[in-house]
Structure 1
Amino acid sequence: SQFEVDLYQHRSACQSPLDLQYREEILKLEKAGGRKNCRIFTYTDHDRFTNLEEHCQRVTDSDHEVPSYLAERMANVRRRRQDCRPIEASSLKSKIITWEPSEEFIKNNHVINTPVQTMYIMGDLGPYGKLGHREYEHVLCTIKVDGNGVMTVKPDFTGTKGPYRIELDGEKREVWKYTIENASVQVQPEEEEREQRVLRELYSRHKECLSGLVGSEFEITLPGTLRLFVNGEIVSAQGYEYDNLYVHFFLELPNHWSSPASQQLSGVTQTCATKTVGWDNVAYFCYTFTLEMFLTLGDESGDSLPQWPVLYFEVLSLDFWQRYRVEGYGSLVLPASPGLHVLTIPTWRPVELGTVAELRRFFIGGSPELEDITYVRTPAAFKGERLSRLGFRTETTGSVTFRLYCLQQSQAFLETSALRQRMRSVLDRLGGFSQQSSVYSVLEAFQRARRRMREARESLPQDLTSTSASAV
């Protein structure tokens, strides 16, 4: 830059061997007639500007910004090319996780310290006759190259976009426009093929290294089998009448489903007192459970739709005399798609008519219970065409919130890796579950529409609804 040319003219301004080298180059350049381009120049890692630029970066555009404690601490952490140390052969077999890190290890690894080389392409945008003033120097482009060979150009090449603009402060409000183009020579086909071959060898070695770290004990499911793994949590229960709640649950596996012999398909949470949150009394359980099951379909079951496992649960309350009451029954169909699912399931309980039943429930803890909890849905032992619940009286109670992390594993997922545009769900190949899910979605949409129609009818004035009914 013109500032450096003027600075290094004086011997007293040189403070390092690099400054002395710059002075000699400037003197040779002056003898040769001076430099032709006075506007564009560069700064590199070891220049004074690079240190000031990295230490004085701001987060906001406020003139009164105060650097935070983290910014002050990180100002001295410079990502520069470090001395390369020989890598021992045993380092590739080291553990991925350091369970007991030392203080020195934490000090050296608490930040990303990838070696980086930086170059700033600058522009002296001062008026003619005033070149070399630091206030007119602006960064046009920043080029960084890390230790992995990744080059970062900021801002990006102009391409089809318009030129970049820099508006100066002052009376004239001058506007400078510039473009950034990639002037590199196109790579020859032979060199590109050689580069691809080197990359393939590098990736194969990296894959072998990862395989050595992971091992060969990864379980593979059998063909035509879907493995469903659920990490579940009973988060909370809210809206119930009594305190000291607990939840009893169990999983029902339909036909063609199985689970390992060591898998526990039922459980009971701890007793939890409620706290007032808004208008409801909420009991936070945070009870975790794990479910593992397999779906295997043979040729004889190709025409039938597979059923999905159902989680049945009941909410009970416990009083001071260790007497329990049934607060509600509910059921949950495990999600058919992998990922995180947060579900809030409403519950109900059977009731008896009359005040005596409620007094019995309050004083001695007796209340009607379901002999078979699968009666919440269609019981497994029911073989008829229609299940009548005529005369069965129930009362809506509170709700229970579940958080489910579902994982699915099947060899059918591998078959679609090469044909992602034709990817279908593995459940489609295992028995047409998509047909069943579409039927369920249509029924749910019909129920939602029916519920909205009922709510809209209830919100109308009474005289209007009676007039429409008489007209019909």
Structure 2
Amino acid sequence: MNDFVRFNKVAGVYWLKDPIKNVTIKVKLKPKDVPISLPKFEDYTTSHDSIQQDRSQEYTFKWQEKVFSAWELQRYMDIHNCITDTELTYHQMIEESDYEPSKVFTYVHDDFYLPLPNDSNKSNVSSLSSCFEKLWLKERVSGVVERSSMGNLFKSEESLSSEQWTAMHVVLDNSEYNEDSHLLLKQELTLISLYHNTTHNYLIMSPDVNDLELNPYDVEAAGIRLEYQYGIQVDFGETWHSEDLVTLLEKLYKKWLKRHKQLVRVSAPPLDRRLVCLTLEILTADNFDMDDLYVEYHIKIPEAVQCDGALHGRTHVTRSSCQDGSEKWAFGYIIELGLEMHIGTEITPLQMFFEVISTDWWGRHRTEGYTYLPLTLTPGRHKKQLSCSRPQENDKMAAESRRFFVGGCHLIKDLDILAKPQLQDANFTYVSTGLLNLRWDVVSQTHIPGFSTPQPSTSSSSAVLLGAEAVLRQYRKARAKLAAATKDLPCGDI
């Protein structure tokens, strides 16, 4: 299987419904886009269509279709160069038909161009056996083969080598020829390798199909990319119906839904309590002066709210990237909080403070900006862009010098100043810096008495409350029956 990864591209595996002979491979080859000279005036006067020409060429091959290159035609034309039965067959084919050389040609299974997948496994098994024989452990290995898991390993290797494969390769002829079409330098570059497993009827193609315009493959030779790009398409025959696959997927989806309903259990919140799940994502930052940014956050929750999650943390350090002509820093950092409160409590917004900090190679950390978000727990998805600003001393010269040499000083001792500007000290002012982009989702859950929940979980405190409610209902019914039965009796008799 090592031959499959030599392309450094993903290989595709296709289970075949129809016979392999119906498979058609299409290769579209074109030179790479290079700078072109501006058209002349006479080019416009003759034909405008000649300026925009499609330089790509498409080659179509059927399974095990032999297409000859220029040097193959020259070789097989001379019968003295043909020794094997395959070579004699090619000579007869060329004699009986008028074949034209092709820049993109094929090697079929009888050419034995590359080793089959099971060849490498055979060599591994034989080399491993020879190593054991040299170590004089043959008797021991035979016992292990019969009784241990290593025996299953050898058996699996032998069973793999017993599988039957048929190969086909599509190759680019990049050889050099003289004026008389005689070969000067032979160079062949494999574009596609196809291996058909006749035992289980599936096809391995390396590399996988792609689109020439959206995702072209580069032609490489000894690590050097040539001035060609190509795309691959495969047709599995006219009798292949996608409706069968859609029907199969729909049946699998129905089975999955049925199984999923049996596995998923909904745990209802406790009575008279509200559960809120908050997921906030720090997306990106824009238009800051320094690079290598990270964000620290501090969250303050109301006293009536119980919180499960980290209320303080920081993101990773990220470098800038230029998008749409502006500097942008991508974070993608997620903050998850689980909140619990009484259902009748009026909840004030959460106070979220963010500080954007830069770092440099000298270990200096500079505050690039502060921002504040009063986050209300409104269910749904929300998105907001916050403006950042940093404090600066009134003495601008001293502030810039201190910021350059030691990273500045912490002028904000209490973050509540961001939420209450009236607490600001008169010794500094704010300077606008960049932007911070946030996105958050809020999900709220409550348990209303009298409404049943689907398959409630019995392993929580809500189960205890549900049991207490059931006992209380039974007690009320018994008390009502007792009152109805004894309402006409004197008090002394009761």
Global fold match (TM > 0.5)? no
TM value normalised by structure 2: 0.39
Greater relative CO (CA pairs within 8 A, separation 6+): 2
Structure with greater strand percent: 2
